[in-house]
């Protein structure tokens, strides 16, 4: 669900790209990054939002541009793999 934006007020791209459940406005993270690439992305929502608000996890599209709390996902190395 997008933010509830008043139709009589001018809004910028950050506000119109943002969704309820994000920790901050979309387009405030590193250029070209998306929520799907963030370590806080959890079960279709944002764990940072839950941590900050102590609210429920709210689902929103993974292709949403990232916010200022963007943290790149950590690479998961396979300890059983031997590349030698």
Please count the structural domains in the chain.
Answer: 1
| Of 73 and 16, more confident | 73
Distances (CA, A) of 7 to 23, 27, 36, 46: 23, 21, 29, 27
Q: What is the pLDDT of residue 5?
A: 58
Per-residue pLDDT tens for 20-33? Answer: 999 999 999 999 99
Q: What is the pTM of this model?
A: 0.74
Say if 50 falls within a structural domain: yes
Per-residue pLDDT tens for 40-58? Answer: 999 999 999 999 999 999 9
Structural domain boundaries, residue 24 = 18-71
Say if 77 falls within a structural domain: no
Please choose, from the candidates 12, 16, 19, 23, the residue with its C-alpha nearest in 3D space to the C-alpha of residue 68: 23
Distances (CA, A) of 57 to 12, 43, 52, 81: 25, 8, 11, 35
DSSP 57: -
């Amino acid at each position: 669900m997008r933010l509830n934006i008043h139709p009589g007020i001018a809004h910028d791209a950050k506000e119109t790209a943002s969704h309820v459940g994000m920790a901050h406005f979309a387009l405030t993270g590193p250029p070209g990054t998306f929520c799907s690439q963030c370590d806080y992305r959890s079960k279709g929502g944002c764990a940072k939002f839950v941590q900050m608000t102590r609210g429920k996890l709210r689902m929103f599209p993974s292709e949403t541009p990232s916010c200022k709390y963007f943290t790149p996902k950590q690479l998961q190395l396979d300890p059983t793999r031997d590349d030698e």
